[in-house]
Copies of this chain bind each other. A is one copy, B any other.
């Protein structure tokens, strides 16, 4: 089996076709992983997503550096992994980024099922929070693809 470094265009193509990945954030050198659904905005080169207030959001507010992994795994010998290195930014209803906020809400309305996992309440929990809309600015993309040929 050979593993190939993917070109920027190939990474971009995988990202454009994806809406799910694993997001890692870190605080005090302790990493933390969460599954996320997102929308890739190719024009703005960022990923939109949202979550209820919790550890992920608190940690990313403190340290905006994140890594998002998108996998396409057919089997052990045929797989693609694209990594996004980027920065967290919260999308608030402030004037300066109201356009981004409107855009994010518009996107989520197009895919209403996205709301469910992130906004679902943990059984027994009493907390109710408004969803936090955020975007990940893409600083760098990298990818690897494995196949049996060459």
Contacts and interface: CB of A to CB of B under 8 A. Distances in A.
Interface of A: 1-5, 22, 24-27, 29-35, 63, 65-69, 71, 73, 76-77, 79, 81, 83, 85, 113, 116-117, 120-124, 144, 146, 150
Contact of A146 (B3, B22, B24, B120): B120
A31 B67 contact: yes
A24 B68 CA distance: 10
A22 B31 contact: no
A12 to B, nearest CB: 19
A22 B121 contact: no
A66 B31 contact: yes
Contact of A5 (B76, B81, B124, B146): B124
